[in-house]
Chains A and B, each alone.
Chain A
């Protein structure tokens, strides 16, 4: 296991920021750490990297305790912090070369160019970072996190400031890294990123992990139905018994709004609909997924 955090509690000054945080990340996994602003996501990352001392609980990162050997952990991790500043007077290649040397790597210019290309950043060699757009800076930050060939990537809001194409490109980079066995802790409030990328999710509210698991598990645990809009090519069959795992919420002309029962895989539900004789033309997600789950869980805990 790359990260194993159990019952983590932490104070900053007199403020109790974390009460009871759990997190388990395996190699090759993308773990989404989500929660409202101020929930303790960034503090959890800081504790995992040895920047903050914990009050209670245990933390193991790459087999080491960050309270004892933070440098060894940092040498094997790539981190993109939320507060992501640069040396504006440098160019991208010099900047990455500087950080590579801090990781005790002497990267050739070609290797540095490969890292820049990997994240979709190809500036003019003499262009200084001061002239970069926000999206270019975000990509450079990701290249910096990758410069030491990390076993573990910790990314705090990595797609902030990126356009939809840029976000998709970064998603592809992260998926490729995950396939190569790199564990990725993705801290974000963009639920679309979580939905698209993460194998497992941890939800933190007020410094406590209130839910952890795969999206399907969380929806099942929270008894949240997944809602879809189904476009129909004709009227619904008048059968006495409809599909058993799907309930119709509303019918609006050619469209029907349906809820899937908790834990029902969408593919199973669609087969049921077809077997029941539904003239299905197309299906769209219509809420009831991660966003609804997030809102209901954060609302419950905030209340």
Chain B
């Protein structure tokens, strides 16, 4: 078995078998439950159009997925370093590239688990189910690169910064900044700066694609530009993680 697969399996095992990993997944499920209940239970929110509710939930799933990826990515490097287990890994024959790829496998598995947890919530908030397929495809296609980008960015930062806390806080700030246009509302997003930020922000790219696919029922093929934006960010984050891990212990 390839060392990369061995490492990815260990990362997955840590997520589903260690108390820490189980707590993270339970926290994500709890957060989805709260948002789901708000969307269907709150008087004002329950008046929203069905497609709008599913769109909101898709954005929430992507944001929570990115949050989980940040925590997992940061822990897989900085957490292991602080617990003293990273050195033992660095002293095995696995290459630095293999180490990042194996850890990235752990991120992918974390996101797949999160996605599986999220599907029933997407179904539950969209009472008619007419937007469910578009939402699942949208989150899988546009959400995945965004989530993995943040996880890899967290890994790269964790490899560069000395402390787990510093790298986690820095990555969470980056996540908040990236997600801010979504929170700040349409008026700011229509400004010149807002539009420029939207054009380069992977999170905006994914959310705008959800808007087009879920609410406007546009074909996914029409979102190639936005998909390209998220993939460019994924490529940059992958390079950032590889170059950071290459410098570990040097």
List residues of A whose CB falls within 8 A of some B CB: 46, 49, 51-53, 71-72, 74-75, 77, 79, 81, 83-90, 98-99, 101-104, 106, 141, 144
Chain A, Cβ-Cβ closest to B10 = A98
Instruction: Report chain A residues within 8 Å CB of B87.
Output: 81, 83-85
- Contact status A51-B88, CB under 8 Å: no
- Contact status A81-B14, CB under 8 Å: no
- Contact status B88-A71, CB under 8 Å: no
Q: What's the dominant secondary structure at chain A's contact region?
A: loop
- Contact status A52-B88, CB under 8 Å: no
B1 touches A (CB below 8 Å): yes
Instruction: Report chain A residues within 8 Å CB of B84.
Output: 83-86
- Contact status A102-B3, CB under 8 Å: yes
B18 touches A (CB below 8 Å): yes
B90 touches A (CB below 8 Å): yes
Q: How far is the CA of A227 from the CA of B246 in the complex (A)?
A: 52
Known A51-B249, A51-B250, A98-B10; judge A85-B83 contact (CB<8 A): yes
- Contact status A52-B18, CB under 8 Å: no
Instruction: Report chain B residues within 8 Å CB of A74.
Output: 91-93
Chain B, Cβ-Cβ closest to A84 = B84
Q: List 15 A-B contacts (CB under 8 A).
A: A71-B93, A71-B94, A74-B93, A77-B91, A81-B88, A85-B80, A85-B84, A85-B86, A85-B88, A86-B84, A89-B13, A89-B19, A98-B10, A103-B92, A104-B93
- Contact status B7-A102, CB under 8 Å: yes
The interface size bin for chain B is 20 to 34
- Contact status B6-A53, CB under 8 Å: no
Known A74-B93, A102-B94; judge A86-B3 contact (CB<8 A): no
Q: How far is the CA of A52 from the CA of B87 in the complex (A)?
A: 13
Partner of B85, one of A46, A72, A87: A87
Q: How far is the CA of A72 from the CA of B84 in the complex (A)?
A: 23
Partner of A99, one of B13, B88, B90: B88
List residues of B whose CB falls within 8 A of some A CB: 1, 3, 6-7, 10, 13-14, 17-19, 80, 83-95, 249-250
Partner of B92, one of A52, A72, A84, A102: A102
Known A46-B249, A85-B85, A101-B1; judge A79-B10 contact (CB<8 A): no
Partner of B90, one of A51, A72, A101: A51
- Contact status B6-A101, CB under 8 Å: yes
Instruction: Report chain B residues within 8 Å CB of A102.
Output: 3, 6-7, 89, 92-94
Instruction: Report chain A residues within 8 Å CB of B18.
Output: 87-89
- Contact status A144-B14, CB under 8 Å: no
- Contact status A89-B94, CB under 8 Å: no
Q: How far is the CA of A175 from the CA of B90 in the complex (A)?
A: 27
Known A51-B90, A87-B14, A99-B88; judge A71-B3 contact (CB<8 A): no
- Contact status A89-B17, CB under 8 Å: yes
- Contact status A103-B10, CB under 8 Å: no
- Contact status B88-A144, CB under 8 Å: yes
- Contact status A89-B93, CB under 8 Å: no
Q: How far is the CA of A253 from the CA of B61 in the complex (A)?
A: 85
* Minimum C-beta distance from A138 to chain B (A): 12
Instruction: Report chain A residues within 8 Å CB of B1.
Output: 101, 106
Most buried by A among B17, B88, B89: B88
Q: How far is the CA of A87 from the CA of B94 in the complex (A)?
A: 18
Instruction: Report chain A residues within 8 Å CB of B91.
Output: 49, 51, 74, 77, 79, 81
Q: How far is the CA of A86 from the CA of B90 in the complex (A)?
A: 13
Known A52-B250, A81-B87, A85-B83; judge A75-B93 contact (CB<8 A): yes
* Minimum C-beta distance from A153 to chain B (A): 12
- Contact status A87-B93, CB under 8 Å: no
The 4 lowest CB-CB distance pairs between A and B, nearest first, are A85-B84, A85-B85, A89-B18, A75-B93
